Amino acid sequence: MKIAPNLFKILVVLTLCLSVSYAIVYTGIQFFSQDSLVKIPDTAKYLALYHKEPVIGHWRWRVLVPLLARSLPDLPGYFFSERRETTDLWQAKVKFGIVNFAFLSATGILFFYFLGALGFFAWEALLGVLLFYTARPVIQSAGIPMTDAAGYFFLLLCFFGLLRKDLVLLSAGFFGGIFARETVFLAFPACLLLPDGIRFKIKACSVTGLILLGYCVYRFYIFPDPGENYFNFPLVFSPAFQAGCFSKINRLLDLFSSFGPVWFFAFYALFLPKVPVLLRKWSWLILIALFMAGNTGRILFPVFPVVIPLAVFGIRQSLRSGQ
């Protein structure tokens, strides 16, 4: 039986994304325990939202993933093992795992087509997807009760909408993302940095700006939180915080670990004359994210729609130079 090229490509991408996503999520579920709630305190916040318990701080607004996890039916323990003890924590982490698996798989598939829309060949797009899945923040946090996987998907959907000049995709990604993780706000400066199409740029900035304004009015004035930190801006903009983030070697190493050695190929690409103009413009988002991330490489990782395509372009040029 002869398989059509497009169908074969889809099967390859699905196999890769589903297999790797399953491995990441399954590993996260297996090693997540009661002790993890102390080691990774954010997970306790999301589990509290899952149980409809009050949460103070910015976590209380990231309701999408806990809501989706809570909407799933309880799973019988024998589905995994005949001796499985189906505790409340086990049910919760498995449900979070199912939601994260869906978002993580969808992110990999969308990233493949995003890279293709940037002009990369299929093998280069697959390489980019692998660089995403093997990044330390993805392996470490995307499979446990967190909102990172959903945040990656909605942010990438915004970037894909900007790339395709599709306001529907942009609006859907931005609106969904604000209830998953605030990293989707990077889409707003991405609109401002579009290199051409002034009419679409105005429309994109207007759409994201209105959604952001409505969200801020609701969050800060209609339904304010007593523990509100205003996106950590007072802390982030303090000179002492910024100085501390870049003065200690362990913090610098943590920032570097967001992409690891992939950084070298990404920076190499910025010095190449043929790098796509859009990627060169969007590279300013790295500085914005670096300033906001402080000392956490996981918070810096949402710029993967820029860093990984740059790295793939740098790898392509390096291989051609080697030839």
The residue extents of the domains of the chain are 5-75+86-322
Contact 116, 122 (CB under 8 A): yes
For residue 194, the model assigns a pLDDT of 92
For residue 290, the model assigns a pLDDT of 82
For residue 36, the model assigns a pLDDT of 86
For residue 2, the model assigns a pLDDT of 47
226-246 burial, b at 16+ Cβ within 10 Å, e below that, comes to: eeeeeeeeeebeeeeeeeebe
- Percent of residues, the chain, with pLDDT higher than 70: 86
- 105 CB-near residues (< 8 Å, 6+ apart): 17, 18, 21
The 10s digit of each residue's pLDDT in 152-209 is: 999 999 999 999 999 999 999 999 999 999 899 999 999 999 988 889 999 999 999 9
Grouping H, G, I as helix, E, B as strand and the rest as coil, residue 248 is coil
Q: Which of 61, 35, 231 is nearest to 144 (CA)?
A: 35
Grouping H, G, I as helix, E, B as strand and the rest as coil, residue 198 is helix
Distance CA 285, CA 287 (A): 5
For residue 1, the model assigns a pLDDT of 41
Rounded to two decimals, the pTM is 0.92
Tokens of 235: 């802390």
The 10s digit of each residue's pLDDT in 55-80 is: 888 888 899 999 999 999 988 766 66
Q: Which of 232, 292, 228, 290 is nearest to 263 (CA)?
A: 290
Cite the DSSP H helix spans in the chain: 5-31, 36-39, 41-50, 64-71, 88-117, 122-133, 136-141, 148-164, 167-177, 187-192, 198-217, 233-236, 239-245, 249-256, 262-270, 277-282, 284-293, 297-300, 304-322
**Cβ-based neighbour number of residue 52 at 10 Å:** 10
For residue 181, the model assigns a pLDDT of 92
Q: Is 95 exposed, middle or buried (0-12, 13-18, 19+ CB in 10 A)?
A: buried
Q: How many CA atoms lie within 13 A of 134 on its CB side?
A: 11
pLDDT along the chain (323 residues), means of 10: 68 95 94 88 94 89 95 78 75 95 97 96 95 95 95 97 95 95 93 89 94 90 76 61 60 80 94 91 91 71 96 92 64
Longest Cα–Cα distance of the chain, Å, equals 66
